[in-house]
Amino acid sequence: MSAFGESPEGTIEILNIVPMQGPGGIVAPSCDAAISLAVDEINRGTGILGREIRTTNIDGGRAPHEVASEVSALLATGMVDAITGWHTSAVRRVVARATASRVPYLFATGHEGLPDELPGVLMLGEHPAGQTLPALQWLEREHGVRRWAIIGNDYIWPRESAKAIRNSLTDPGAIVLERFVPLGAPDFGDFLGHPALDRADGVVILMVGADVSRFNRQFASTGRAATQLRISPAADENVLLAGGPGANQNFYAASSFFIDERTADGRERVGRYRKLHGEFAPALTSFSNMTYEAIHTLAGLAHAVGSLRVPDVLGAIDHGVLLETPGGLRAFQGNQAIQHGYIARANGVEFDIVARIT
């Protein structure tokens, strides 16, 4: 029997949205395992507000309106206390409208940084200005990359991120090629065979999950990987594994967190993860770690504020509340979590951090 009892009134119910299909589906097993680690750690203590936490996973890989319909139905029960998740911005936009600021919504994915989010939507993932743009500036300084090609999935995050990149570049001709393709596109031949790609020093990949892996394989097969580097703000170790070592030459990723077992924190976190799930669990990756951090950030908010009511949470954030999480103290600027940024280079199917970029 749970130390918290079995009454539904004694629980905090969290909806967690992670894609279980489509190109983002490759992250689902590791995200699910990371979330269960966070839940186990919090419930071994005092839970959230003295109550046991429970999570219900929702497939965020479906059409956005389908995800929003399910969220609306679950919210209508009155039993949902918060929403977390790693999924696309297209899903976030409709889920935020369905949520209508009734409960906190912690979005753990990199995003496009638009200023019109509804109250209660908290951005734990990276804003382009804190991730993609500093990464491109670092690659220009360190590797002389001045001309870029951009390929992205055709929805709000890639298009807005590409716009932010264009606006940040002083040379209007620095982007030599820009294309957007549907989620799950099987072939990138039109982009890879375009004559303008020959003039690019590097490629910015604004795609999701398995699409990045598929693009990397096709890119490497052209022989371009030896002379043209690639950078993505949406790649984790699952992407490297799916692509295979041969697809990852000269491939960089930007993120606020990479698992580094050379550090004490990295070893301890991976150790706790493996103790719970065993040695053959899905890899604990930068993306799944964000879902882990989302659950702990929710717990930190509740502890600091004494409530999960959206007005109380927003009031505390406006007054500069600091949250204790396994990743250290966390603060917000508006609805955006403040964090460091890092750039890492693929080494086979792992990442090596090469620089702190913010």
Tell me if 157 is assigned to some domain.
yes
243 with 346, same domain?
Answer: yes
Residue 8: pLDDT over 80: no
Report pLDDT for 129. 87
214 with 349, same domain?
Answer: yes
241 with 134, same domain?
Answer: yes
Give the mean pLDDT of 137-162: 97
Per DSSP, the three-state class of 144 is coil
C-alpha span between 59 and 19 (Å, rounded): 5
149 with 58, same domain?
Answer: no
Helix ranges restricted to H, the chain: 28-44, 64-75, 89-99, 132-143, 156-168, 189-192, 210-221, 237-243, 264-277, 286-305, 310-318
Report pLDDT for 9. 65
Q: How confident is the model at residue 2 (pLDDT cuts 50, 70, 90)?
A: very low
Tell me if 2 is assigned to some domain.
no
Give the mean pLDDT of 212-238: 96
Judge whether 34 and 284 are in contact, CB under 8 Å. Answer: yes
DSSP track, 158-192: HHHHHHHHHHH-SSTTSEEEEEEE-TT----HHHH
Bridge partners of 293, per DSSP, are: none
16 with 91, same domain?
Answer: yes
Query: pLDDT tens across 302-325, in order?
Result: 999 999 999 999 999 999 999 988
User: Which position has the token pair 């999570």?
Assistant: 55
Number of domains observed in the structure of the chain: 2
269 with 222, same domain?
Answer: no
- Read off the pTM: 0.93
Query: pLDDT tens across 11-26, in order?
Result: 999 999 999 999 999 9
Radius of gyration in angstroms for the set of CA atoms belonging to the chain, rounded to a whole number:
20
Give the mean pLDDT of 150-171: 96
CA atoms within 13 A on the CB side of 203: 28
Per DSSP, the three-state class of 213 is helix
Give the mean pLDDT of 323-352: 91
305 with 351, same domain?
Answer: no
- Counting other chains too, the contacts that 38-45 makes at CB distance below 8 Å and 24 or more residues apart are 38/291, 38/292, 38/293, 38/295, 38/296, 39/295, 40/276, 41/272, 41/296, 41/326, 42/295, 42/296, 42/299, 43/2, 43/3, 43/4
Domain range enclosing 270? 10-126+261-338
Higher pLDDT, 200 or 358: 200
252 with 345, same domain?
Answer: yes
The helix (run of H) or strand (run of E) holding residue 202 is strand 202-206
Report pLDDT for 7. 45
C-alpha span between 239 and 350 (Å, rounded): 10
Tell me if 3 is assigned to some domain.
no
Tell me if 170 is assigned to some domain.
yes
Residue 100: pLDDT over 50: yes
237 with 351, same domain?
Answer: yes
Residue 231: CATH number of its domain: 3.40.50.2300
Report pLDDT for 358. 74
66 with 177, same domain?
Answer: no
221 with 349, same domain?
Answer: yes
Tell me if 62 is assigned to some domain.
yes
Tell me if 1 is assigned to some domain.
no
Give the mean pLDDT of 208-213: 96
C-alpha span between 251 and 73 (Å, rounded): 42
Tell me if 290 is assigned to some domain.
yes
Tell me if 5 is assigned to some domain.
no
Query: pLDDT tens across 61-79, in order?
Result: 999 999 999 999 999 999 9
233 with 349, same domain?
Answer: yes
Give the mean pLDDT of 235-239: 94
Report pLDDT for 127. 87
Higher pLDDT, 1 or 297: 297
